[in-house]
Amino acid sequence: MTARGARNRIGWAVQLGTIRYLGDNPEEVPAVVTSYVAEQLGLDPGAFAGYGTSETRWAHQEQIRNEYEYTKFESDQWFALARWLYQRAWIGNERPTLLFDLATKRLLDKKVVLPGVTVLERLVSGTREHAEKRLFATLAAAAPTAEQAGQLRQLVVVPTGKRPSELDRLRRSPRDISARGAADVHRCSVLLHSSSIQCLVRARSCSCTRSRNSTSASRSGGAWQALTRPCAAGPLA
């Protein structure tokens, strides 16, 4: 593998270190990195200017991929990553930024050259949107009875003398690792198993619901898992 000229030599060397992390544009690296590489090669860092827009960089990238067995981010890699992200979005409740970081790490582990940032952003947001639409459609299909609908509406009513509604209380993660905190978790568990929202809970398996709450539950000292362990066999009856 050869590179002629100062600009191409610096560019090849820079891509050798950045192709795994920055994808297609080597000029996105900090100037201090370029200067360090150029110094090692005994070349002027200013010669690197314009390398990111030259066609030669693609040939260099191909050489590096072949030599170190990296894979381009093409349709097969896109589909595999989209399916993996969708599964996580469906059974979990991870933030978009976390999904983005996890997707980046997965590509790095599989030696896939990273695509542009906007490509990953669109993929993450798109898969989360599809998972949410599936969830909403599943919940809508579990049509509640008139009595259950009335009970569900009561969840958003703020009781006299209290500030939060029952729905607000249910949305809060367990934080108090004490007997009082365990009692609050138990009360929420009883309400979640009541007939008022049984039609909605049935729409998702107990394993999915438990998986979505696993992060919050870990902070409660295991109280949530202990109180909901009878659900482990499958969906609520």
Whether 217 contacts 225, CB under 8 Å: yes
Alpha carbon distances (Å) from 226 to 70, 81, 208: 45, 34, 17
Backbone angles phi, psi at 51, to 5 degrees: -65, -35
C-alpha atoms less than 13 angstroms from C-alpha of 206 in its C-beta half-sphere: 16
- pLDDT per residue rounded down to tens, the chain (237 residues): 567 788 888 888 888 888 777 555 677 788 888 889 888 888 888 888 888 777 788 888 888 888 888 888 888 999 999 999 999 998 888 889 999 999 999 998 888 888 878 889 999 999 999 998 888 888 777 767 777 777 778 778 887 887 888 777 777 776 777 887 788 777 777 776 665 555 555 544 433 443 444 444 343 334 334 333 443 333 333
Domain boundaries, the chain: 6-68, 75-141, 146-233
- Cα–chain-centroid distance for residue 61? 28
Return the bridge partners of 112, or none: 71
